[in-house]
Structure 1
C-alpha cells in the first residue's frame, strides 16, 4: 500500500476523525472548521506527513512512529 493518502474536510457541528495508516507513502490532510473538532492520527512507518487545521473546539492527537515524520498543525 505504497500510496497511503487521506484527505478529509468537514465544515461544522460534531466533527470527528480517526485515521490509522501503517507503512509506506503516508499522507493526511485534514481540515475541520467550526464546532466540536476532534482528530486522532496514527501513522506508523515510512514517509509520514500530516497537515491539520482545526477552527473551533479543537482536540488533536498524533502518533507518527518512524521515518520521514512531518506535522503542521493550526488550531484557533
Structure 2
C-alpha cells in the first residue's frame, strides 16, 4: 500500500536520478532524501527527490541539500 503523501517508489526514484535502487536506499538512510517505509516498501518524497536532483550532487555533503535549501539557499524543501 502506497503512503498518502506525495511520494514515489524507490525504483522510480532511481530512474529519475539515473542511479540504482541501492543508492536511493543509501540516500534515504543518510537522510539525503526524505521518505517513509510502508508495508516493507520504501517511498521517496517527491520534493526531496527534486531538491536532491537539483542540488545534491553539487553540495559537498549529501545531506547538504536539505540544510542548504531550508536555510534559504534555493527555496526547496
TM-score bracket for the superposition, by shorter chain length? under 0.3
The structure with the largest strand share of the pair is 1
TM-score (ref. length: structure 1): 0.19
The structure with the largest helix share of the pair is 2
